[in-house]
Chain A
Amino acid sequence: MSQKILLDKINIPGIKTYDVYRANGGYASVEKALKTLTPDEVVEEVKTSGLRGRGGAGFPAGMKWSFIDKKSGKPRHLVCNADESEPGTFKDRYLMEFIPHLLIEGMITSSYALGANLSYIYIRGEYMWIYKILEKAINEAKAAGFLGKNILGSGYDLDLYVHCGAGAYICGEETALIESLEGKRGNPRIKPPFPAISGLWSNPTVVNNVETIAAVPWIVNNSGADYAKIGIGRSTGTKLISASGHIKNPGVYEIEMGLSVYEFMNSDEYLGGMSSDRPLKAFVPGGSSVPVLPAHLIFKTANGEDRLMTYESLSDGGFATGSMLGSGGFIVYNDTACIVRNTWNFSRFYHHESCGQCSPCREGTGWMEKVLNRIENGYGREEDIDLLLSIQSKIEGNTICPLGDAAAWPVAAAIRHFRDEFEYHIRFPEKIKNRDHFVAEPFEKVKHLVAKELV
């Protein structure tokens, strides 16, 4: 069994409540930080831990904290990003639903480190029942003296509230989230200025993912150095992985960074292998925005090394043969899954979720979806594949926020690794119309029909 630092207490009956959580060592980090550490010392511990943002970008959390503007004298805010909506990702929900006080504790300790006296948890509107769970947990913590004025007699004040979104993936982007928290449309802001200088209500603000904040109590209770001992290289600590798709045991797992993808996929402790005797075809390691990988690049990297669950190993080989750890949304496909349909599905998602503010994303995501929809429905043209590659390359890097890249990458990766499947759809529309083409006829058997020479 690997070390668990987030989910170690999740199975304790009643851990949702303050009393049980407290009885099991909860809120120790608040006591330790407020009574024995200065805010800067907490920041230092987090820096030493090597903890990286768990929302997807993987930016070192301690460094992000150290950017916050303390000189201006403006009020500072910590905002927790619980707008979990990356397809394939459902880990934050698990944490908040079953051990809400861990997040509250993390918020208090982290707010103290940042010198924030007013902090928010921004949760997606669909998680309404969790919104209520968190509100309850906050009230309990407040009643126990961990929130409000003069916490534990330290002179430190903190108000913490939950704020709910209302159905917009884009609000997971930190500046869109801030806009939404200000009661506006979720349009990402132009950066700079970054939130650390001018964020919520133009005040210095740090936005962190739920899992990132939930790791802070352990780091403070133990030490940054202890955290850094877990994992490999710059991928320190543990990571929550949300696993879904054609696997035996879907769900949320806490792994130590550095576990091999093979073991994660096949051991009974984790995913337990495929859900049926259908073979593995592809996987997406970090949520829908990261590149999909074909079977031969999943367990081994292009140069034959074991693929590990780390930021570095999953992206080994760049986009040509690698992918990204992203938010840890692990989606597994067997050979009955149609890559074209799946790519269209993701494209529809990004089309639906684009805020519409900047032209490449507003127009490009819709265009890609329309072209993919044609291909999937048997109306593809030979030139559509190159057209898709061209559109995605015109979106990538040219947009205000990363949603453009997130929409472009899956399309490029699907064509990069499964181009013949796209060609098959275009050339044999009659074979794909019932959506059962690979069940009735394994792709390996028809692959010769789309040999490159035909072009």
Chain B
Amino acid sequence: MERTHHKQEINITETLMNRINELISYYPEDKRKSALLPVLHEVQDAHENWLSIELMDKVAEIIQIKPIEVYEVVSFYTMYNQRPIGKYMFEFCQTSPCCLNGVEDLMDYTCEKLGVKVGEPTVDGLFEVRGVECLGACGYAPIMQLGDFYKEHLTKEKVDQLIEDCKNDIIILHDK
């Protein structure tokens, strides 16, 4: 429901376009639409982790489908963001096994430390905390996802360290 209109600079670089074409080539020629999900991931990663209407329209054009088909898909899957999000998105798993290991307190702690509520980026746009459903790492709880990676066996100290590392720009979000 977050369709407020934010501006986004669209930049489909040659490298990105090559990767998109590679992904499209994984499917039969008349099934380009199948590449939609992987392509959206790549495009989102290259655009500060969110997809504006204009960017989705661009993807529709590349895949050769109707814009509405892209909107429908983007709004269905939770990993696509339809508004600008904090650069470092702390996505805490809040399903049962993580709760048994104290993730709720950890989320409260993180929010307090960053001075935000869940789902609101910090004023500088650097951080955001979000609760997500089971990430499939229950044995290593509590955990969070940061970019493409999981941070497991979290403690308050580890969260502190992560926040520091993010501020010092030494966290890798996407493995290219």
Residues on A lying within 8 angstroms of B by beta carbon are 84-90, 92-93, 118, 124-129, 132, 161, 163-169, 180-186, 201, 242-246, 250-252, 288, 329, 331, 333, 337, 341-342, 345-346, 348-349, 352-353, 355
Contacts and interface: CB of A to CB of B under 8 A. Distances in A.
Given A182-B31, A251-B139, A345-B99, A125 B79 contact: yes
Contacts of A92: 136
A264 B79 CA distance: 36
A104 to B, nearest CB: 15
Nearest to B31: A201
Nearest to A182: B34
B169 interface: no
Interface stretch (B9-17, B70-78, B111-119, B160-168): B70-78
B102 to A, nearest CB: 11
B41 A125 contact: yes
**Which of B76, B79, B135 has the most chain A CB within a 10 Å cutoff?**
B76
B40 interface: yes
A119 to B, nearest CB: 11
A270 to B, nearest CB: 12
A333 B139 contact: no
12 contacts: A86-B134, A89-B138, A90-B136, A161-B27, A163-B38, A164-B37, A185-B76, A242-B138, A244-B141, A250-B138, A329-B138, A331-B97
B95 interface: yes
Given A167-B78, A184-B73, A349-B95, A331 B40 contact: no
Given A183-B35, A183-B73, A245-B100, 7 more contacts: A85-B134, A132-B175, A183-B37, A184-B36, A201-B31, A252-B139, A288-B96
B137 interface: yes
Contacts of B124: none
B122 interface: no
Nearest to A284: B96
A86 B135 CA distance: 9
B2 interface: no
Contact of A182 (B33, B77, B132, B148): B33
Nearest to A334: B100
Interface in B124-142: 132-141
A93 B136 contact: yes
A353 B35 CA distance: 23
The 5 A-B pairs with the shortest beta carbon distances in the complex, nearest first, are: A183-B36, A167-B78, A166-B77, A244-B138, A250-B139
B78 A166 contact: yes
A373 B99 CA distance: 15
Given A87-B97, A331-B96, A349-B133, A165 B37 contact: yes
A129 B37 contact: no
B111 to A, nearest CB: 17
A149 to B, nearest CB: 15
B134 A87 contact: yes
A201 B28 contact: yes
Contact of B96 (A88, A163, A242): A88
Given A183-B73, A245-B97, A251-B139, A349 B37 contact: no
Nearest to B34: A183
B8 interface: no
Nearest to B45: A128
B149 A164 contact: no
Contacts of B99: 341-342, 345
B145 interface: yes
A84 B136 contact: yes
Nearest to A164: B38
B34 A126 contact: no
A345 B138 CA distance: 14
A250 B140 contact: yes
A90 B139 contact: yes
Nearest to B30: A201
Contacts of B65: 183
B109 interface: no
Given A161-B26, A180-B37, A185-B73, A342 B136 contact: no
A269 B133 CA distance: 30
A182 B34 CA distance: 4
B34 A181 contact: yes
B96 A167 contact: no
A56 B54 CA distance: 41
Contacts of A127: 136
A85 B78 CA distance: 13
Q: Which of A84, A181, A183, A288 is the most central at the interface, judged by chain B CB atoms within 10 Å of its CB?
A: A183
Given A182-B31, A201-B31, A345-B99, A244 B139 contact: yes
A164 B136 contact: no
B145 A126 contact: yes
A87 B95 contact: yes
A36 to B, nearest CB: 31
- Of B34, B76, B134, most buried by chain A (CB within 10 Å of CB) is B134
Contacts of A331: 96-97, 100, 138
